[in-house]
Amino acid sequence: MTVDSHHPRPVILGQNQYGKAENRVVRITRDGDTHHIKDLNVSVALSGDMDDVHYSGSNANVLPTDTTKNTVYAFAKEHGIESAEQFGIHLARHFVTGQEPIHQARIRIEEYAWERIETSDSNSGLNGADEVKHSFVRRGQETRVAQITFDGEKWQVISGLKDLTVMNSTNSEFWGYVKDKYTTLPESYDRILATEVSAKWRYSWSSDEERMPNWDTSYAQAKKHMLQAFAETYSLSLQQSLYQMGSRIINSLGEIDEIRFSLPNKHHFLVDLEPFGLKNDTAEGAVYFAADRPYGLIEATVLRDGVEPQIPVDTTNL
Amino acid sequence: MTVDSHHPRPVILGQNQYGKAENRVVRITRDGDTHHIKDLNVSVALSGDMDDVHYSGSNANVLPTDTTKNTVYAFAKEHGIESAEQFGIHLARHFVTGQEPIHQARIRIEEYAWERIETSDSNSGLNGADEVKHSFVRRGQETRVAQITFDGEKWQVISGLKDLTVMNSTNSEFWGYVKDKYTTLPESYDRILATEVSAKWRYSWSSDEERMPNWDTSYAQAKKHMLQAFAETYSLSLQQSLYQMGSRIINSLGEIDEIRFSLPNKHHFLVDLEPFGLKNDTAEGAVYFAADRPYGLIEATVLRDGVEPQIPVDTTNL
Amino acid sequence: MTVDSHHPRPVILGQNQYGKAENRVVRITRDGDTHHIKDLNVSVALSGDMDDVHYSGSNANVLPTDTTKNTVYAFAKEHGIESAEQFGIHLARHFVTGQEPIHQARIRIEEYAWERIETSDSNSGLNGADEVKHSFVRRGQETRVAQITFDGEKWQVISGLKDLTVMNSTNSEFWGYVKDKYTTLPESYDRILATEVSAKWRYSWSSDEERMPNWDTSYAQAKKHMLQAFAETYSLSLQQSLYQMGSRIINSLGEIDEIRFSLPNKHHFLVDLEPFGLKNDTAEGAVYFAADRPYGLIEATVLRDGVEPQIPVDTTNL
Amino acid sequence: MTVDSHHPRPVILGQNQYGKAENRVVRITRDGDTHHIKDLNVSVALSGDMDDVHYSGSNANVLPTDTTKNTVYAFAKEHGIESAEQFGIHLARHFVTGQEPIHQARIRIEEYAWERIETSDSNSGLNGADEVKHSFVRRGQETRVAQITFDGEKWQVISGLKDLTVMNSTNSEFWGYVKDKYTTLPESYDRILATEVSAKWRYSWSSDEERMPNWDTSYAQAKKHMLQAFAETYSLSLQQSLYQMGSRIINSLGEIDEIRFSLPNKHHFLVDLEPFGLKNDTAEGAVYFAADRPYGLIEATVLRDGVEPQIPVDTTNL
C-alpha cells in the first residue's frame, strides 16, 4: 500500500486483484474411439506489485487478462485436465513463478459433469458398439467447484459443490425454540426438510513436499458422506443436519480439515385444505407449497480440532 | 369480440386468458415407510365470456386466480398426482365443466425429477433399510413439461422437455453451404455438435372416448429415442439431427403425431493455439471455447403425414 | 412439406426456421466530440426451401448462421442503426431478396437505452464542456423490442417493450367475483395494483408503397400513453387496466392496429400485523409482502375494429 | 467453539450464523393524497451462543427465522423506513439487545428505486392534480445495497450499489503491458471502456455516541462522484479508473473511510469488417461486439490513509 501523493487528503490502495473470469474451456481426449470430456469454467485472479497501474495507469507490471485467458486454453492442451484442482495448480504455479510482479494467484473453477448416452444396437444402422463412445448428456445435478491459491510457497485448495438440492420428506421436527412477541410459528413434529447445498471444504495439503490427495476420489467421497449424513440424520434443526454433514466428512476424510456450508432452508409449507373439507395430514402423505422467498439461511463452518479456519465466512461461490 | 361503445373510434377485445401461474406444488405419498414425491409447477389459463371484466371491470364472470391456485392444491390431495398430464386433465375438466363462463382451460406444468439418496448401513447407527425411503436428491437433468388444453369437447395434450444438454464430440461436419459476400466461415469436417434440447410433442389422443396413452411410459420412450437418434446420427447439419430425432419418435411411438424442436447450436470453437506453438487437432483430442452468444437457433416441426400441425411455432416454453 | 421417402411410415417436415440468435451489436457514431450509442441484441430467423438440409443434411440452400451474424455487424456499419425497426427492415430485405431459397426473414431485436452521465466542471481538471459527450450510464428501465418479418412482398412490424414495472398504491379494488367451493379470497376495496408490463403492438404499415411510421416517435408515444392509462385508471380488475392501456394506444396512434399484453399481477399482500398489536391499515399507509410465485397472469389482445389479429397469442418475448 | 464429545476424532464448530433471508417488504406512506414508497429486500443473519443447536438440535437459544421475518414486517410499520441504513439499525439493535444468546446481528438490504409516472390532465377525465400521486414506475437502474452489523457495542455500516452499467466510448487506451509467450492482444489507443459497477463503501460511524451521517444524502453524493470520476478520467487501464472513482469519494465525503469495487470489464470488441471491404475505424464511429464471457475482473479496495480495511475481499453482494 502506498500513499497517493496527488491528493491533499491521502488515499491508500488496499487489497486488489485482477484477471480474466469465466473462461469456458472444454477438453476432449480420445482413447481410440472412446472420447472423454472435461467441461470447466475457469477464473483467474492475480495480485502483487500493482500500485502503479492504479495510481498512474502504467501497465508495466500488468500481464493482460487476455493473456491469462490464452494461458488457460494453452494449458488445457499442454498439460491436459486431470482434475479441476490439478489444472488450477498448474495455472497458479505458472503465474506466480513466471511473472516477478505477481505474488499470488487464485484460480476458481466450476466443473460440469457429463454422462454417456446409452444407445441400443437394435435401433441403429451403425455399429452400435462404437457410437456410444462420443455422445454425452450433461448430468445436470450439482456443480463441482474448486479454488486453488498459491503465493509462491504455500498452497491452499478449497473444493466443493453447489446447486445440490436434497429433501427428507419426514424425520424432521422443529420445536422448543425461543418465543418472543413477534413469534407466531407453530411447532412442528413432522415436516419436510429440504435445502440446496453449497459446501466448500479445505484440504490440509499446502506444500509441494506433501503427498497430494486424489482430488477426484476425495470429491466423490465427500459428496457421498454429505448425502448420507443428510439422509440418515433424524433432524431437530437444519443446524443439526449441517453439523452432522460436516463432521462426517471431517471424521471420514483425513485430508480435509475444514468445511463451510451455506444451506438455504427451502420451505415446504403444509397447505391449509380445511376450508375445502380436506385433511392435509403428513402421516397420510400431504400436499405442500414450495416457497421461494423468504427462506431461512443457515451457515456454519465445521473443522478439525486444532486447525485454524481459513475459508472466508461470506465468500461468493467459488 | 365486442365493440367498445365508450370510444369514438371503436376498439375491439381480442383473444384473452387469465389464471394463476407457477403454483409450486409438492405431493408426498407414503407407501408404508417408502415415500414418493411429485414436484410440479402448475400454471392455469382460462378463457371464455370475459368481455365485461375488460370493458367495465365487472368481475361477475371471473373466478379469482386465487381460487384457481387453491384448486391446484386441493386437487393434489383429492385426486393425487398420477402424472403431470393426468393431473392437468383433472384440472382442465374441472374449470370448463364447473364454470359456465369458462369455455377453455389450458394447464401448463413443469415437473422436476428426484432420485433416492443411496445410504450405506455401515455408516449409520440407524436401521439402514428404512431410512433411504424418505430421502431424495433432485435429479437436475431435463425439466419435463406438459400442456393440457380442453374446450369442453376436445382435448389437446402436448408433452415435452427442456434444458437437456447433449453433445457429440465427433461425427459432425458442416460444409457445402451457400457462400455470399459476408461468408467467412471455414468448412469443417470434424466438429463438436452440442445443443440444449427443447422439444414438445403432441399426442393424437383428443377425446374421452379414446384410450388414453400411458403418459409416463411415452415420456420415457420419447426421451430415449431422442437421445439415441442424436447420438447415432452422423450429422452434416443440426437440421439433419433434428429431423432424425423427430422422425424416430414419430415412427416409434404411434400415439405421437407431431413434435416441435427448438435447438440452439451450442458452439464449441476450436481454439487457435498456433501462436503458442501448439497444434490443436481434433483427431488427437482438442481444446474448445464454449461460446454463449450469439448462437445458431434451429427450429422445426416434424409430423406424421396427413395430420395438421397444431403446436404453435414460437411459443413460450410450456 | 415433403414426404420422407426413407421411412416406411411417412413423416413430414413442417414449419422450420433457422439463423443466428442474440447478436450483440453496439454502434457508436461521432458527431464531432458528441458520441451517440445504439445497443442492440439482434436475432435472425430465415425460412424457405430447406427440405434437403433436414432430410439429407445437404447444405446447398443454407446460408450459414455465421454469415447472418456477419451481415448484422456489416450492416450496422454500412447502413447505420437509425432505429431498431429500420435496421431490421434492412436486414430482412437483404436476406429475402439476396438468397433465392430464402422466402421469409424474421428479425427480432432487443434495444437497451443509455443516458448521458452528467458531469460537473468544478470537479474536473478537464474541459468539462467536452467530456460529457462520450460517457453513458445504462438507463436500465424497460427493454425495447421489435420484430420485423418480410416475405418478399409484405412487411409486418411488431414493436413493444418488456420489463417495465409499474404500481398504483391505491385506486384499485377487487370484488364481486365468482365464488365456488375453492374460493377463500376476501374482497378488497383498496389494494396495490402492480405489474411488469410486456406489450407488443403491430403497425398497419405493410408495404414499401406506404409511408413508414416514425418508429422512435411512435415508441415514445405508445409508452407514454400506456403509463398514463395505467396511472389514471381507477381499476376494478387488472383486465380493466389492460384494456384501458390498449385502447388508449389504439385510439391515440393511428399507425397501430393491434396490441398484445402479458401482465403478471405482482401481488403485494397486506401483512397481518394483528398478532403484534399493530393495525396495518391501507388508509394510514401500510406494509406489504411482495410475493414472487404464484402470480396472476392476465393476457389479452386489444385491436382496432375491423382488423385481423396477427400477433401470436403465446409468443416468446420478441 | 466447543469440542464435539460424541466423535472419536474431535470436530469443532466454527463461525456460524442464521436468519431469514430475502424478506421482500414494501412500505407505502400517505401524505394526504401523495403516496411514498419504500421497496426493500431484507436479509437477517444472527450469531451468538448457538453451539447446542448444532451439536444436539436443541433450539432453546434459537429465535426462529420465521420470527425474524415477522419482526422485519412489524418494524416497517412501527418504525417506518426512513432509509435502508436506519431501518437496518433498528433491526440489528433489536435482535442483539432483545435476545441474550444473540451476540451479533447483520442486516443486509437491497433497495429498489421508483419514480412517479407523469400524467397529463388533458388525457384524463379525473382530477389530474391528484392522480399522479400514487402511481409509480420502477426506476430500474442500480440496486442500492446496505449492510448493518452490530455486536452490542460497535456499529459497522457498509452501503453501496450494484448493477450500474457505464461506458466511455472513447478516452480509453490499453498498451505498455507485459508480454509473455501467451500474449497475443494488440495494443489499443482508442477503445470502449465499459463496466457494471459493484461498489461498497464503509462509513466511519461506529457508535451511538457519534453523529450519524445522512444516509440518503451520502448515497446520492457517492453515486454522483463515482459516475463523474468514471466519465472524467482519461483511462489507461480500468484499474486507474477504479482508483479515481474510489479516491474521489474518499476525498469528497469525510464520512466514508473505505470503498471496495468489483468491476467486470465488459469487453466491446471492434468487429473485423475488412473481409467485407469495410473500414471499422473508431475515429469515424465504429461497430462493436459486446461480449459476455470471459471478462476481465478488476477488484480493489481504496481507503483513507491510516484506517484499517474492514470490507471483506470476496464477499457476496451485500
Mutate to test the interface with D, among C33, C110, C116, C117 (most CBs of D within 10 A): C117
- Radius of gyration for chain A, computed over Cα atoms and rounded to the nearest angstrom: 24
Report how far residue A307's alpha carbon sits from residue A303's, in angstroms, rounded to the nearest whole number: 7
Is B154 at the interface with chain A, CB within 8 A?
A: no
If one counts every other C-beta atom within 10 angstroms of the C-beta of residue A210, the result is: 12
pLDDT band at C132 (very low <50, low <70, confident <90, very high): low
Give the other-Cβ count within 10 Å of B139's Cβ: 14
**Any A CB within 8 A of D22 CB:** yes
- DSSP 3-state of C118: coil
Q: Find residue A64's DSSP bridge partners.
A: none
Q: What is the mean pLDDT of residues B194-219?
A: 98
pLDDT at C11 over 60: yes
What pLDDT score does D2 carry?
A: 45
**Residues B20, B94, B225, B268: which is the catalytic one?**
B20
Contact B67, C185 (CB under 8 A): yes
A292 touches chain C (CB under 8 A): yes
Pairing of strands C295-304, C287-290: unpaired
Calculate how close chain D gets to A175, using CA atoms only, in Å.
Answer: 7
Residue C193, classed as helix, strand or coil, is: strand
Lowest average pLDDT, out of B4-8, B79-83, C205-209, goes to: B4-8
Q: Can you tell me which residue has the cell 450429422?
A: B235
Q: Does B220 touch chain A (CB under 8 A)?
A: no
Rounded Cα–Cα distance for residues C22 and C18 (Å): 13
Q: Which one of A36, A39, A66, A73 would you mutate to disrupt binding with B, by most B Cβ within 10 Å of its Cβ?
A: A73
Q: Of the listed D90, D225, D266, D267, which one is catalytic?
A: D267
pLDDT score of D121: 55
Report the range of poorest mean pLDDT among A197-206, C118-127, D243-252.
C118-127
Kindly report, residue by residue over A133-147, the tens digit of the pLDDT.
999 999 999 999 999
Given a cut of 60, whether residue D138 has pLDDT beyond it is yes
Alpha helices in D8-137 (DSSP H): 51-55, 65-78, 84-98, 128-131
B chain contacts of residue C299, beta-carbon cutoff 8 Å: 16-18, 45
Touching partners of A (3+ C-beta pairs < 8 Å): B, C, D
User: Would you list the DSSP string of chain D?
Assistant: --B-TTSSS-EEEEEEEEEEE-EEEEEEEEETTEEEEEEEEEEEEEEES-HHHHHT---TT---HHHHHHHHHHHHHHT--S-HHHHHHHHHHHHHHH-TTEEEEEEEEEE--EEEPP--GGG-SS-HHHHGGGEEEE--SPEEEEEEEE-SS-EEEEEEEEEEEEEESSSB-B-S----TT--PPPBSS--EEEEEEEEEEES--STTSPPP-HHHHHHHHHHHHHHHHHH--BSSHHHHHHHHHHHHHHH-TTEEEEEEEEEE--EEEP--GGGT----GGG--EEEE--SSEEEEEEEEEETTPPP-S-TTBPP-
Longest dimension (CA), chain A: 81
Cis peptide upstream of residue C294 (ω within 30 degrees of 0): yes
Q: Is the pLDDT of residue D35 over 90?
A: yes
Identify whether the C-beta of residue D11 lies closer than 8 Å to the C-beta of residue A247: yes
What is the distance in angstroms between the Cα of D274 and the nearest Cα belonging to chain C? Answer: 10
D56 pLDDT above the threshold of 90:
yes
Please tell me if residue D294 touches chain A, with a CB cutoff of 8 Å: yes
CB A249 within 8 A of CB A201: yes
Taking only the tens place, the pLDDT of each residue in D291-303 is 999 999 999 999 9
pLDDT bucket at B81, cuts 50 / 70 / 90: very high
Show the cell assigned to D84: 435502508
Residue by residue, DSSP assigns A30-53 as EETTEEEEEEEEEEEEEEES-HHH
Q: How confident is the model at residue A3 (pLDDT cuts 50, 70, 90)?
A: very low
Smallest CA–CA distance, residue D183 to chain C, in Å, is: 26
For an interface test with D, the pick among B274, B293, B295 (most D C-beta atoms closer than 10 Å) comes out as B293
Contact across the interface for C22 and B240, Cβ inside 8 Å: no
| CA dist D217 → D77, D83, D214 (Å) | 24, 10, 6
- Check if the beta carbon of residue C243 is closer than 8 Å to that of residue C260: no
The rounded distance, in Å, linking the Cα atoms of A115 and A17 is 36
pLDDT, tens digit, 9 for 90 and up, residues C237-266? 999 999 999 999 999 999 999 999 999 999
Residues of B in contact with D180 (CB under 8 A): none
Mean pLDDT value across residues D256-280: 98
Please indicate if any CB of chain A lies within 8 Å of the CB of D193. no
Q: CA A250 to CA A225: how far, in whole Å?
A: 10
Mean pLDDT of D88-96: 98
Q: Give the one of A7, A260, A314 whose C-beta lies nearest to D247's C-beta.
A: A7
Closest partner CB to B293 (pick from D181, D184, D292): D292
Residue B165: HSE in the Cβ half-sphere, 13 Å Cα cutoff: 14
Q: In this structure, how many other beta carbons lie within 10 angstroms of the beta carbon of residue B251?
A: 17
pLDDT of residue A271: 98
Instruction: Count chain A–chain B contacts defined by CB atoms under 8 A.
Output: 217
Please tell me the predicted confidence (pLDDT) of residue B289. 98
Q: Which residue does chain D place closest to A25, by CA atoms? A: D294
Nearest in space to B105 (alpha carbons), one of B71, B172, B155: B155
Distance between CA atoms of residues D278 and B161, nearest Å: 44
Cβ of residue B63 closer than 8 Å to a chain C Cβ: yes
Q: What is the predicted pLDDT for the residue at B9?
A: 55
Mean pLDDT of B161-166: 98
**Spatial distance between the Cα atoms of A107 and A84, rounded to a whole number of angstroms:** 10
Say what percent of chain A tops pLDDT 70: 92
- Three-state DSSP at C225 gives helix
Residue A159 has what pLDDT?
A: 98
Contact C158, C202 (CB under 8 A): yes
Q: Calculate ∠ Cα B264-B265-B271, nearest 5°.
A: 145
Task: Kindly tell me the burial class for residue A148, based on how many C-beta atoms sit within 10 Å of its own C-beta (0-12, 13-18, 19 or more).
Answer: buried
Lowest mean pLDDT among A48-57, A112-121, B197-206, C133-142: A112-121
Report the complex ipTM: 0.93
B20 is catalytic: yes
C65 classed as catalytic: yes
Name the more confident of A121 and C181: C181
Position D122 scores a pLDDT of 45
Lowest mean pLDDT among C2-6, C260-264, D24-28, D262-266: C2-6
Q: Is C56 exposed, middle or buried (0-12, 13-18, 19+ CB in 10 A)?
A: middle
User: What Rg value do the Cα atoms of chain D yield, rounded?
Assistant: 24
Q: Using an 8 Å Cβ cutoff, are B236 and B288 in contact?
A: no
Q: Letter for the amino acid at C221?
A: Q
Please, which residues have CB within 8 angstroms of residue B55's CB and are 6 or more apart in sequence?
A: B2, B4, B6, B13, C240, C243
Q: What is the mean pLDDT of chain B?
A: 93
Mutation choice for B interface testing from D267, D276, D288, D295 by most B CBs within 10 A: D276
Query: Which residue of A lies nearest to D252 if distances are taken between CA atoms?
Result: A9
- Chain B hits for A132, Cβ within 8 Å: 231
- Give the CA dihedral C260, C266, C267, C268, nearest 10 degrees: -140
Whether the Cβ atoms of residue B115 and residue B133 lie closer than 8 Å to each other: no
Among A124-128, A246-250, C302-306, D6-10, name the one with the lowest average pLDDT: A124-128
* pLDDT, mean of residues D38-66: 98
Q: Do B181 and D276 touch (CB under 8 A)?
A: yes
- Cα four-point dihedral sign B82, B83, B86, B88: positive
Chains in touch with C (3+ beta-carbon pairs under 8 Å) read A, B, D
- Single out the residue of C164, C176, C165, C172 nearest to residue C193, CA to CA: C172
A261 in Cβ contact with A249 (< 8 Å): no
- Residues in chain D with CB shorter than 8 Å from the CB of B293 are 292
* Closest alpha carbon to B249 in C14, A128, A123, C2: A123
Report pLDDT for C314.
78
- Identify the DSSP state of B188: B
Residue C295 is given by DSSP the state: E
Distance CA D34, CA B255 (A): 61
- Does position B51 have pLDDT exceeding 90, yes or no? yes
| Active-site residue list of A | 20, 65, 267
Cβ contact A177:D62 at 8 Å: yes
Given this model, what pLDDT does residue A128 score? 47
pLDDT band at B285 (very low <50, low <70, confident <90, very high): confident
pLDDT at B125 over 70: no
Q: Can you say whether residue C251 is alpha, beta or left, with left for phi > 0 and alpha for psi between -120 and 50 degrees?
A: alpha
Provide φ and ψ at A119, rounded to 5°.
-115, 165
Asked whether the beta carbons of residue D124 and residue C192 sit closer than 8 angstroms, the reply is: no
The residue among B148, B198, B215 whose CA lies nearest residue B301 is: B198
Q: How many CB atoms lie within 10 A of CB C286?
A: 24
D contacts of B182 (beta carbons < 8 Å): 276
What confidence tens digit (pLDDT) does each residue in A281-297 have?
Answer: 998 889 999 999 999 99
How would residue A98 be classed by pLDDT, with cut points 50, 70 and 90?
A: very high
pLDDT at C269 over 90: yes
> How many CB atoms sit inside 10 A of residue D72's CB?
26
SS3 A290: strand
For residue C71, the distance in angstroms to the closest alpha carbon of chain D comes to 9
Identify the band that residue B121 occupies on the pLDDT scale cut at 50, 70 and 90: low
CA distance D92 to D88: 6
User: D276 in contact with B at a CB cutoff of 8 Å?
Assistant: yes
pLDDT in tens, A31-83: 999 999 999 999 999 999 999 999 999 999 999 999 999 999 999 999 999 99
Among B186, A220, C182, A185, residue whose Cα is nearest residue D69: A185
